[in-house]
Structure formats: C-alpha cells, structure tokens
Amino acid sequence: MTDAAPADPGLPPSNTTARRRDIGLAAAAGLLAVAYFLAPPLLFPGNSDDFPRAFVAYWSSGGGRDFPPDLQHLVDHQFRYHLVRVVIALLLLAVLLTLAVRLRRFRLPVGALALAAAVLLIANVQGTVSPFGTLLPTLASGPATAELAAAVAQVRNQVENGPVSPALDVMLDEYVRWHVWKGALAGVVAAVLIALSVVTWRQRRRWVSVLIAVLALAALVVVLANVVTVANPHPGFLLLIEGGAIG
C-alpha cells in the first residue's frame, strides 16, 4: 500500500477552503463595523458637552496655541476617539476591498460598503488632524448661555471687522486644515472611482461604469466645495459656529 501523494502547493485552494476564508472575512467585516460604533465610547467615555464652557474660558483668556487644561483634555479626548475610529475604518476598508475582489458575484454591494467605509475614514481623519476644529460645531448645539452668546458674537465681529485675536487665528487654522484634508482625501476617492469607471466601461459593463462615474462626479463636487471653502473660509466658519452648517 503506497502513501498518498502530497498535495501540490501550487494548486489553488479548494472551494471549501475559499468559502471558509470568505466567511471569515465577512465575519471580520461585521465585527469591525460593530467595533467602529462601540469601541471608541467604551475606550474613551465622556462627551463634548463641556466644550462650550471650556471654549468660553479659552476665548476670554485671549487664547493661543497652548490650550487651558480643561480644553486640552477635551481636544486630546477628541483626537484619541477619532484615531481609534481611523484604525478600525482602515481595517474595515481593507477587508471589504478584499471581499470585493474575491466575491465577483457580490462585487457591487460590497464595493458600495467599501465606499461607505472610505467616507467614514475621511470623516475621522479630519477628527485626528483637527480635533479642536471638529469640536467647534458643538458651540451651536450645546446649551445656550449668555457667556457663550457673547463669545460667539465677538468671534463674528472679529471675523467681519478684525483684528484677529490669537484664539480666532487658531480656530480658523483648524477649520482650514479640516477642509484641506477633506478635499485631498475626497480627491483620492474621486481618482479611484474614475479609474474604476474606465475599467468597467472597457469591460462593457456600461451601467456599472455610469454609476461609478456619477459617484466620482459627486466626489469631485466635494473636492470643489472644499477648495472654495479653503480659499474663503470666513462664511463657512461663521455658519459652523452659529449652527448653520457642519462644514
């Protein structure tokens, strides 16, 4: 009786092995999606309700690059919170792209999920590069006080009439940085979508190509909007802190 010949390592994996791998990747994607929403608040409990009070104290002191301890604590919390989400969203995007390559039959829905993960990644990159800037919208959504209203009125007056205080200079710098990164990353997404649209068109998958092209156009609109904001940040900045827009 002869021994069975060893499996050729050059042969592709069996259908069962491939199926198990795909199931494992799908499970990993599900776990990462849950972790995206649950892990940051569990790791870094707290909220930004204290930001308006800390901001008023910072603004009243004249401001500058060095934040008071209370405000620095909130900024550090915001940075760590978004950094965790960046890592999770990046892993989720990698898993979904792998699944999109492997599962040809479900490439379109998985690709749509990957695009959603890319959007989440961009939003949280903004939170890591501009943690103070991403706290500014809470000035409009938080509890209204006379001190906060007075501070926001002073901000508006400085933006419209000058001179710009050190605190306002920091705020505008954070706001512009926020939009520079958003525009740049949206540009990367647009470039990838344009390339995919060309590839699918050459494969004669016309309707898929057109759909991807529409998404690419939407990404280019985001790029343009952020370029316009960076070129003239004052109107959008005032809307942001007064509750007219998120930015």
For residue 5, the model assigns a pLDDT of: 47
Q: Any idea what the Cα angle at residue 163 is, between residues 160 and 167, rounded to 5°?
A: 95
Beta carbons within 10 angstroms of residue 4's beta carbon: 5
Q: How far apart are CA 200 and CA 130, in angstroms?
A: 37
CA 67 to chain centre: 24
Q: Any idea what the Cα angle at residue 132 is, between residues 155 and 41, rounded to 5°?
A: 135
The whole-number mean pLDDT for each consecutive block of 10 residues of the chain, a chain of 247 residues, reads 47 72 93 96 82 91 86 94 97 95 88 94 94 90 83 93 91 94 95 94 89 96 96 94 63
Provide the whole-model pTM: 0.85
Omega within 30 of 0 (cis) for the link into 163: yes
Structural contact between residues 186 and 80, judged by C-beta atoms closer than 8 angstroms: no
Structure tokens given for 85: 């989400």
Q: Any idea what the Cα angle at residue 146 is, between residues 142 and 151, rounded to 5°?
A: 80
Q: Determine which helix (DSSP H) or strand (DSSP E) holds 172, and give its type and residue range.
A: helix 166-202
Q: How far apart are CA 181 and CA 87, in angstroms?
A: 17
Q: What is the DSSP letter of 67?
A: -
Q: Which region, left, alpha or beta, applies to residue 204 given φ > 0 means left and ψ of -120 to 50 means alpha?
A: left
Ordered by start, the domain boundaries in the chain are 19-242
Q: How far apart are CA 98 and CA 26, in angstroms?
A: 10
For residue 48, the model assigns a pLDDT of: 67
For residue 8, the model assigns a pLDDT of: 46
Q: How far apart are CA 186 and CA 230, in angstroms?
A: 14
| Pick from 135, 139, 134: nearest CA to 122 | 134
The end-to-end CA distance of the chain, in Å, is: 75
CA distances 123 to 77, 102, 230, Å, are 16, 27, 17
- The amino acid present at 116, given as its one-letter code, is A
